[in-house]
Amino acid sequence: MPKVKTRKAVIKRVKVTATGKIMRSHQLRANHLRRNKSKGALRRHAVPIQINKADIRQIKRMLGIG
């Protein structure tokens, strides 16, 4: 059985919590044109959110954990 390689791009974009949830950051958090965005919106989008249920299986496979 061949080894499963992890996708390095996915590792950089998601974080797996201790309980097994897969979290991602918001797009608005990006640095592009950041000074035009409201400070409240930047604060709200600083908190990571959980990945959609439909994508969990595919993301786990890319990470090599499922």
| Cα separation, 42 vs 55, whole angstroms | 25
Read off the CATH number of the domain in which 16 is found: 4.10.410.60
Handedness of CA 10, 12, 18, 23 (dihedral sign): negative
Residue 29 lies in a domain: yes
10 Å Cβ neighbour count for 62? 19
Residue 27 lies in a domain: yes
Domain extent for 36: 8-63
Report the SS3 class of residue 63.
helix
pTM of the model: 0.81
Q: What is the pLDDT of residues 41-51, one digit of tens each?
A: 999 999 999 99
Domain count, the chain: 1
Q: What is the pLDDT of residues 19-45, one digit of tens each?
A: 999 999 998 877 888 899 999 999 999
